[in-house]
């Protein structure tokens, strides 16, 4: 089992809860695929509640959690982009392309298709 990068588990938990549905730690743990220790998931969710990212309410023997304000939850990628690249997507894409030594012509063709598709959707 590989350890997650800093903040990755938090982001995945927020992503699972972004629908606005209340979920227990057990439900979130199951949606995460069970790869993380249950107690770790519980601790992270409790800390997110302490940071006012999640709200919680006791229901029977368990707490149900939900996102306080879905518009303020960032994905792991958004956090990395903000921290290291100043939130500019083009800078991170440029860095990835320039530093990659394993890009094939097929990879570049696929990227070009994606760029063209994006250009079309921006019009």
The answer to whether residue 83 is domain-embedded is no
The per-residue pLDDT of the chain, averaged, comes to 84
What's the number of domains the chain is made of?
Answer: 2
pLDDT in tens, 65-80: 998 876 655 666 676 7
Which two three-digit tokens encode residue 111? Answer: 């990227």
Structural domain that includes position 64: 8-72
pLDDT higher at 1 or 17? 17
In this predicted structure, what is the pLDDT of residue 73? 56
Distance CA 9, CA 5 (A): 8
- Is residue 3 in a domain? no
Is 67:14 a contact under the CB 8 Å cutoff? yes
User: What's the pTM?
Assistant: 0.57
Q: Determine contact, residues 11/74, Cβ cutoff 8 Å.
A: yes
């Amino acid at each position: 089992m590989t350890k997650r990068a800093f903040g990755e588990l938090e982001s995945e938990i927020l992503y699972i809860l972004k629908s606005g549905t209340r979920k227990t730690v057990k439900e979130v743990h199951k949606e995460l695929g069970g790869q993380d220790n249950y107690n770790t998931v519980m601790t992270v969710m409790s800390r997110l509640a302490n940071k006012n990212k999640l709200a919680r309410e006791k229901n029977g023997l368990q707490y149900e959690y939900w996102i306080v304000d879905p518009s303020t939850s960032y994905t792991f990628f958004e956090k990395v982009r903000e921290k290291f690249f100043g939130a500019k997507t083009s800078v991170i894409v440029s860095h990835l392309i320039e530093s990659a030594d394993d890009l094939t012509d097929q990879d570049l063709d696929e990227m070009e298709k994606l760029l063209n598709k994006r250009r079309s959707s921006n019009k």
